Amino acid sequence: MSQKDEVKATNNEENKKVEEKKTDTKKKNDKKKKEEELSEEDKRKKEELDLLAERVQDADVGVQKLALDTLITEIKTATSSMTSVPKPLKFLGPHYEKLKAFFDSQSSSENKTLLSDILAVLSMTFGKEGEGETLKYKLQGSMKDIGSWGHEFIRHLSGEISTEWDKRTENKTSVEELQNLVNQIVPFNMQHNAEHEACDLLLEIEKIDQIMDFVDDVNYSKIGRYLTQCASFAPGEDEHILKVVQDIYKKANQPCEALRVCSMINNSDVKGAQDLFTSVQDEVTRKQMALQLGRQHLYFDSSDENLNSLIYNSKLSENFQVLAQDLEITEAKTPEDIYKSNLSDTRGFGTNLDSARQNLASTFVNAFVNAGFLKDKLMTEDGNKWLYKNKEHGMMTAAASLGMVLLWDVDGGLTQIDKYLYANEPYIKAGTLLAVGIVNSGVYNECDPAIALLSEYVADQTNNNIRIGAILGLGIAYTGTAKADLSALLLPTVDDSKASMEVVAMACLSLGMIFVGTGDPEITNSLLAVLMERDEASLNQTHSRFVALALGLLYLGRQQLSEVTLETLKTVTHPIGRYASVTLDTCAYVGTGNVLKIQSLLDMCGDHLTEKDSHQAVATLGIALIAMGEDIGVEMALRSFDHLLQYCEPVVRRAVPLALGLMSVSNPRIPVMDTLSKLSHDSDEEVAMGAIFALGLIGAGTNNSRVANLLRSLSAYWYKEPNYLFLVRVAQGMVFMGKGTISIAPYDSDRSILSRTAMAGLLTVAHACLDFKNIILSKNHYLLFTLVSAMYPRMLMTFDENMKPLPVPVRVGQAVDTIGQAGKPKTITGFQTHTTPVLLGYNDRAELATDDYLSAAPIMEGFVILKPNPNAPPPTVVKQ
């Protein structure tokens, strides 16, 4: 080193020392200034605590004991306040390390135990992060009355217990002393309105069953709702948590809540639901449970005719007519009322009623708009006239549309449909068979009229369309019922090697719809056999996708139960095998929000394939299916779809609009609407068609004016393109479904129960729309009627104990998430008061606006029975 460099280094060192000296001086000055800022009272307290800290280390045991007792009293009284940082914790900080060293030097004694308690509290503030010193010192201290150290100490200790519990479980060492602490912490939290913290601790150490010991009539609701939410964030443990929640509601004598949770665990579990139902004695509660069972399509014979009528949804049509009369919307609408061509500059184009394509569009619009109202201007007045304005498969759809108009009215509807069964035209006959299935959708009848009328046509070898009408009609009529007779009826068609792929695919689809979510092994084997044994030409047909979808429907929501079937599908070498694998996997985890599954699907969508890429479209739909269960997942998926639109191959881009539609069914979110509006003008016709149809999905049954205006503009934009215009018309019909009274959203208003029957219908239409040209715009447009499985009135009707309509005031507003909040926060905001019956939007929640009645249902939606409130205040008498 040169002399110049040595001088430079020396100067740097001197400068460094000067800087360090300045810093030390500044710290001392700051400390001194801080001390000077202390009030007289704080100064005295600091001196007192400093003296006590010194005396704790005194040689005399008696002096130690007195100092420790005084310090404990000071800390306990200070930590009871939550308005400021406790003074002892602030002023004892400089002594922490000295007290630790003194503690280590002492042998076991009573004083050491007391000092350990103090150090456990001080370590909350001054302990090293990750060292677990609070727990370490607490375990060496007294293990009694730990709640006296305050809430913050309990919270801190809980966090360290869960970390230490994991370590000890992994190392297979004893957790007994940790369990002793847990046994004190949980009761403390339960007694001090911190139920969610008690649940968190027990969930962390996987002992949530212990919460049952602390459930009572006051806290059951808060604990049950909190654990229900936690279940969705605990993949693999969700079923166990929900079973605990079900036991909580049983213990609290809340069978309606327990039934809801039973549906969340497995909404195809008829046996579990029946056991709950039969264990209840109260007649009103049984009626409310019967209504819940009907909504979930969990049918069984209760041996009571009145209850059976509720379980079987026999009164659904009658109650829907009451709603229509109350809202004054009984007048039938025509397709032109929906198109409003007089508002368009192109009213001379695209509205020609002699055009077969436009007549077909009008058939769908008429069916969707007048669904369930029992009368329309096209089919119920003079059906023959309208039928013959259509051609071939258009006739089939027109005849089937009669079932939509007469929806849910089995007795009256079948009488009107029956006359078309004797038509000479095979297409009309096929459509009539489909109409029989549609009119029975969502309603169960002990006489099984659908089976009686349709079964003889299932094996009809003379005409494939008649056969398909009967097969699909059975699938729609008995969706979600898992009726064993139908398995024996339809499986021969699935195994028929001479039958066309279209017929076999429809038989598979019907079985998937009927046995949705059951994982039936016999049907699974038959469907796998179709994929393995059929020749390549058959599997190349577009209808083969419905065999794959049927497999997915069988395992809808069953998660790990699908793994064996997934392994078997790896042996299918044809591309349909990959399509089926992705379909099965996405259906199995529908609504779970499973992040790992979504990541793997995104990775799959990112592959740049040029052929054998049809599975990527299903992966795109799968992202929406899995994420649709909770709002954060939906927001993240929306951002992901933006990236897929920009960077992925055409097959993925074409599926994105449908995925957006599936994720927001009957819920017209503004961001989704704007994205679909842009995509509806896309240069890729499949993307544009998907976006148009998705606008119908998101607006379904909402009468949303913004979606309606967008579609009206699109009808003017695409008036020269019959295929585009057809889809615009269908979407318009969906937006005004049931004149705005019917929703196809698969979730209940609390977003907790996913209707497997609704998902079956939505998924069928979504997979059909992955190939618009060869399915929806070709001969299989009647598949759009599978949406009927998802259709249900979006209303709230209230009844008295004798099931007579009972108008009462209710508040309807936006739902507010109150899970884990203290006290009794308001559950809705921005409400308006209406008299029942009322319509409920996707984000709406209702609550009673009167104290005269109590609701028998846990959530105010659909059909609710009200009981007189025994504690209601007497009515005020106004003196004249």
Q: E strands, 272-396, where?
A: none
Report the half-sphere exposure of 536 (CA within 13 A, side-chain side).
3
Cβ atoms of residues 463 and 455 within 8 Å: no
pLDDT band at 347 (very low <50, low <70, confident <90, very high): very low
pLDDT tier for residue 512 given thresholds of 50, 70 and 90: very high
Sign of the torsion formed by the C-alpha atoms of 153, 156, 158 and 163: negative
Whether pLDDT at 491 is above 60: yes
Same structural domain, 54 and 83:
yes
**pLDDT higher than 90, residue 692:** yes
Same domain? For 47 and 135 the reply is yes
pLDDT band at 9 (very low <50, low <70, confident <90, very high): low
Which residue has better confidence, 818 or 670?
A: 670
Q: How many whole angstroms separate alpha carbon 710 and alpha carbon 696?
A: 10
Residues 6+ apart with CB under 8 A from 842: 666, 667, 702, 743, 745
DSSP 2: -
Mean pLDDT on 322-337: 85
CB atoms within 10 A of CB 660: 28
Structure tokens, 332: 């039938």
- Helix H or strand E encompassing 855: strand 853-855
At 768 the pLDDT is 92
Q: Are 26 and 75 in a shared domain?
A: no
Kindly report the length of the chain: 880
Structure tokens at 438: 């549609």
Question: In degrees rounded to 5, what are phi and psi of residue 161?
Answer: -65, -45
Winning range, highest mean pLDDT, from 13-17, 76-80, 141-145, 190-194: 190-194
Mean per-residue pLDDT for 554-559? 86
Q: Are 149 and 75 in contact (CB under 8 A)?
A: yes
Please state, in angstroms and as integers, the Cα–Cα distance from residue 448 to each residue in 297, 455, 788, following that order.
15, 11, 19
CA dist., res. 505 & res. 547, Å (int): 5
DSSP state of 314: T
**Same-domain check for residues 65 and 138:** yes
The alpha carbon of 335 is separated from its chain's Cα centroid by a whole number of angstroms, namely 34
Beta strands 795-799 and 809-815 are unpaired
Q: State the pLDDT at residue 351.
A: 46
Q: Are residues 29 and 57 in the same domain?
A: no
pLDDT class of 691 with cuts at 50, 70, 90 = very high
pLDDT bracket for residue 88 (50, 70, 90): low
Q: Which two tokens stand for residue 132?
A: 């677990």
Contact 253, 241 (CB under 8 A): no
The answer to whether residue 221 sits within a structural domain is no
Higher pLDDT, 458 or 553: 553
On whether both 23 and 85 belong to a single domain, the answer is: no
- Identify which of 63, 56, 65 has the alpha carbon closest to the alpha carbon of residue 92: 56
> Is residue 227 in a domain?
no
Q: Has residue 431 got a pLDDT over 80?
A: yes
754/263 Cα distance (integer angstroms): 9
Residue 86 and residue 72 share a domain: yes
Residue 813 has what DSSP assignment? E
Contacts of 32 (CB under 8 A, 6+ apart): none
Q: Does 78 fall in a domain?
A: yes
- pLDDT tens track for 766-824: 999 998 888 888 888 889 999 999 999 888 889 888 888 888 999 888 877 777 676 67
Cα–Cα distance, 553 to 507 (Å, whole number): 13
Measured in degrees and rounded to the nearest 5, phi and psi for residue 814 equal -75, 135
Residue 808 resides in a domain: yes
Which phi-psi region, left, alpha or beta, contains residue 847 (left: φ > 0; alpha: ψ -120 to 50)?
beta
* pLDDT at 26 (0 to 100): 62
Q: Is the pLDDT of residue 232 over 60?
A: yes
Question: Across residues 729-752, what is the average pLDDT?
Answer: 87
Tell me, rounded to whole angstroms, the distance of Cα 420 from its chain centroid.
41
Same domain assignment for residues 59 and 96: yes
Q: What is the pLDDT of residues 439-467, one digit of tens each?
A: 988 888 777 888 888 888 888 778 888 88
Q: What is the pLDDT of residue 350?
A: 43
In this prediction, residue 813 carries a pLDDT of 87
| Sign, CA torsion 48/53/54/60 | positive
- Name residue 853's beta-bridge partners: 868
Quote the pLDDT of residue 24. Answer: 66
Check if the beta carbon of residue 458 is closer than 8 Å to that of residue 475: no
CB atoms within 10 A of CB 342: 7
49 and 99 housed in the same domain: yes
165: CB partners within 8 A, 6+ apart = 175, 178, 204, 205
Mean pLDDT along residues 511-524:
89
| Whole-Å CA distances, 184 to 133, 144, 201, 219 | 19, 8, 12, 18
Residue 609 confidence (pLDDT) above 80: no
CA–CA distance, 389 with 173 (Å, rounded to integer): 80
pLDDT digits (tens, 9 = 90+) for 811-838: 888 877 777 676 677 777 878 888 888 8
Whether residue 7 is predicted with pLDDT greater than 70 in this model: the reply is no
Residue type, 699: G
Task: Give me the pLDDT at residue 880, please.
Answer: 47
pLDDT digits (tens, 9 = 90+) for 109-131: 777 777 777 777 777 777 677 67
Residues 6+ apart with CB under 8 A from 141: 113, 114, 116, 117, 119, 120
What is the distance between the alpha carbons of residues 280 and 289, in angstroms, rounded to a whole number?
Answer: 9
Indicate the residue type of 667.
N
Q: What is the predicted pLDDT for the residue at 134?
A: 76
Residue (of 876, 800, 874, 812) closest to 842 by Cα position: 812
Per mean pLDDT, which range of 354-358, 388-392, 826-830 is the poorest? 354-358
> Does 589 score more than 50 pLDDT?
yes
Quote the CA–CA distance of 273 and 267 in Å, as a whole number.
Answer: 9
Please state the domain count of the chain.
Answer: 3
The verdict on 821 and 850 lying in the same domain is: yes
Q: 847: which strand partners? A: 811
DSSP string over 165-202: HHHHHHHT---HHHHHHHHHHHHHHHHTT-HHHHHHHH
Question: How confident is the model over 432-441, as a mean pLDDT?
Answer: 90
pLDDT digits (tens, 9 = 90+) for 646-662: 888 888 898 999 999 99
Lowest-pLDDT range of 3-12, 156-165, 280-289: 3-12
Last residue of a domain, one of 93, 112, 142: 142
Residue 1: inside a domain: yes
Provide the CB-side half-sphere exposure for 241 (13 A, CA). Answer: 23
Residue 683 lies in a domain: no
CB distance 603 to 596 below 8 Å: no
User: Residue 500 carries which DSSP code?
Assistant: -
3-state secondary structure (DSSP) of residue 815: strand
The confidence band for 621, taking pLDDT boundaries of 50, 70 and 90, is: very high
Rounded distance between C-alpha atoms, residue 750 and residue 625, angstroms: 18
* Residue 89 backbone dihedrals phi, psi, to 5 degrees: -70, -30
Given 125, 142, 159, which residue is the final one in a domain?
A: 142
* Interacting residues of 247 by C-beta distance below 8 A, sequence separation 6+: 212
585: enclosing H helix or E strand:
helix 575-588
Residues 1 and 48 in one domain: no
The pLDDT of residue 3 is: 55
Partners of residue 828 on adjacent β-strands:
815
So what's the pLDDT on residue 879?
Answer: 52
Q: How many other C-beta atoms are found inside a 10 Å radius of the C-beta of residue 570?
A: 10
* Residue range of the domain that includes 64: 41-142
β-strands 844-848, 742-743: how paired?
A: unpaired
Residue 725 forms part of a structural domain = no
Confidence of residue 22 (pLDDT cuts 50, 70, 90): low
- Tell me what pLDDT residue 110 has: 74
The answer to whether residue 162 scores a pLDDT higher than 70 is yes
102 and 11 housed in the same domain: no
DSSP-derived letter for residue 873 is P
Average pLDDT, the chain: 82
| Amino acid letter for position 370 | N
- Dihedral (C-alpha) 683, 684, 685, 688: value to the nearest 10 degrees? -80
pLDDT at 765 over 90: yes
Last residue of a domain, one of 83, 113, 142: 142
pTM score, whole prediction: 0.84
Mean pLDDT of 408-423: 84
Backbone angles phi, psi at 606, to 5 degrees: -75, -10
With respect to residue 169, please indicate whether it lies within any of the assigned structural domains: no
Going by pLDDT thresholds of 50, 70 and 90, the confidence category of residue 140 is confident
- Whether 600 shows a pLDDT value over 60: the answer reads yes
Q: Is the pLDDT of residue 349 over 50?
A: no
Query: pLDDT grade, residue 763 (50/70/90)?
Result: very high
